[in-house]
């Protein structure tokens, strides 16, 4: 019997095999440059520059003052689950039973529940490459795996039924797709979601859809997979459209028969989501708060509409216009085949931070960078000026 070699310091193999966020070392260097007095433009982290909306802050303060600091039920506050169900009714015209909704510690908590429920050791989900890195890392955590499927502009960086047919094998148990996707900002329409659902059901697989960037689409509202497949699992979060990143709150919508098992997992994995955050999140669904979110959505659209042509004008190749989220996934092969060195150059010389493609998978990762438009247009204009100057010094190297 072949015994795997020991891991460093005797720690678990799963820990050793989960890669770090490469962008975090870049962020640490950016912060060090700021502390040294440099003006760094942060386009690397997937966090909106807006603070939490005032009505949500006030609701959180009121919750603290009222003593709402104790555990809640594992599935979350009934009032919040009902409010989320109301959001599905108002935005998607869907009647979702609040009993199917589990409130989680961030979207990550929802992913932890779904992967723990659906993936046995040695089994895998199909995931698009490039994609959000934590998705594959959570699968490794539960002793499953990610079957990364290379996708490009020809597929709008999304899985298709044809790709599922090509890549499905005896260890496949489902697929995870994101719409809008990180890092590409592309979306899936209702017809595409229905086709993916049919393809997976024909193989006895589960469809899990990351809808964390819903609300941040430009010129249209993205459809929810629940409009075409009531048995799909949906991950969502209060971090992006609702602007509550540090509050650590998300949710999972699951088929009714899965809820008892998911509740049991929640009880054991984290007991409950933060109670103060849940009470604060109730304010997210008030009309005055939605109006704030919609104003911010329009600002993100303006940023995208400025930055996309500006970067293309500098020679960055962006073959598919992002329809949502707040990222541009840029092909930089005209300049380099070492995206990490490329990012380091702009940080050190021009103090503009963006993310190398290596964080998002393997397929052509060294020829791509992700640039987040999480700064206002004036800062983006300054960033473009600096990037143009940095390209000149890069090409002289």
List of domains in the chain = 13-51+289-393 (3.90.1150.10), 70-287 (3.40.640.10)
Beta bridge partners of 150: 129
SS3 (DSSP) at 18 = coil
Q: How confident is the model at residue 189 (pLDDT cuts 50, 70, 90)?
A: very high
Angle between helix 259-269 and 106-118 (nearest 10): 120
d(CA 121, CA 133): 19
Other CB atoms within 10 Å distance of the CB of residue 306: 15
Enumerate residues 6+ apart whose C-beta is below 8 A from 396.
Answer: none
Q: What is the pLDDT of residue 1?
A: 46
Q: Which two tokens stand for residue 301?
A: 């659209």
For range 190-211, the mean pLDDT: 98
Decide if 342 contacts 335 (C-beta within 8 A).
yes
For range 323-340, the mean pLDDT: 97
Q: What is the pLDDT of residue 164?
A: 98
Mean pLDDT for the chain overall: 96
Global pTM value: 0.95
pLDDT at 91 over 60: yes
The distance from CA 296 to its chain's CA centroid, rounded to whole angstroms, is 18
Rounded to a whole number of angstroms, the CA Rg of the chain reads: 21
For range 210-228, the mean pLDDT: 97
């Amino acid at each position: 019997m072949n015994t795997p070699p020991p891991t460093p310091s005797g720690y678990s193999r799963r820990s050793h095999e989960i890669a770090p966020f490469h962008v975090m070392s870049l962020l640490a260097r950016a912060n060090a440059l700021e502390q040294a007095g440099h003006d760094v433009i942060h386009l690397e982290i997937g966090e909106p520059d807006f603070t939490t909306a005032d009505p949500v802050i006030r609701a959180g303060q009121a919750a603290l003052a009222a003593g709402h600091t104790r555990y809640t039920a594992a599935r979350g506050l009934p009032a919040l689950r009902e409010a989320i169900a109301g959001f599905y009714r108002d935005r998607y015209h869907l009647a979702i039973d609040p009993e199917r909704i589990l409130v989680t510690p961030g979207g990550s908590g929802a992913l932890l529940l779904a992967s723990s429920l659906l993936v046995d050791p040695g089994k895998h989900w199909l995931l698009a490459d490039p994609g959000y890195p934590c998705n594959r890392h959570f699968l490794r955590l539960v002793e499953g795996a990610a079957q990364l499927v290379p996708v490009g502009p020809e597929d709008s960086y999304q899985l298709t039924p044809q790709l599922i047919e090509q890549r499905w094998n005896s260890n496949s148990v489902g697929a995870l797709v994101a719409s809008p996707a990180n890092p590409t900002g592309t979306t899936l329409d209702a017809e595409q979601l229905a086709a993916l659902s049919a393809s997976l059901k024909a193989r006895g697989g589960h469809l899990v859809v990351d809808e964390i960037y819903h609300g941040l689409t430009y010129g249209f509202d993205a459809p929810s997979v629940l409009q075409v497949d009531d048995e799909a699992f949906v991950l969502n979060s209060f971090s992006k459209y609702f602007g509550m990143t540090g509050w650590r709150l998300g949710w999972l919508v699951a088929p009714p028969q899965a809820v008892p098992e998911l509740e049991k997992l929640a009880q054991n994995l984290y007991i409950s989501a933060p109670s103060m955050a849940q009470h604060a999140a109730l304010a997210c669904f008030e009309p005055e708060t939605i109006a704030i979110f919609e104003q911010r959505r329009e600002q993100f659209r303006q940023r995208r509409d400025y930055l996309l042509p500006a970067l293309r004008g500098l020679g960055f190749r962006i073959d598919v216009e992002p329809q949502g989220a707040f990222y541009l996934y840029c092909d930089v092969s005209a300049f380099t085949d070492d995206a990490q060195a490329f990012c380091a150059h702009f940080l050190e010389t021009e103090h503009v931070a963006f993310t190398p493609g290596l964080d998002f998978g393997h397929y052509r990762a060294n020829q791509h960078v992700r640039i987040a438009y999480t700064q206002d247009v004036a800062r983006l204009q300054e960033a473009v000026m600096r990037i143009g100057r940095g390209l000149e010094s890069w090409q002289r190297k």
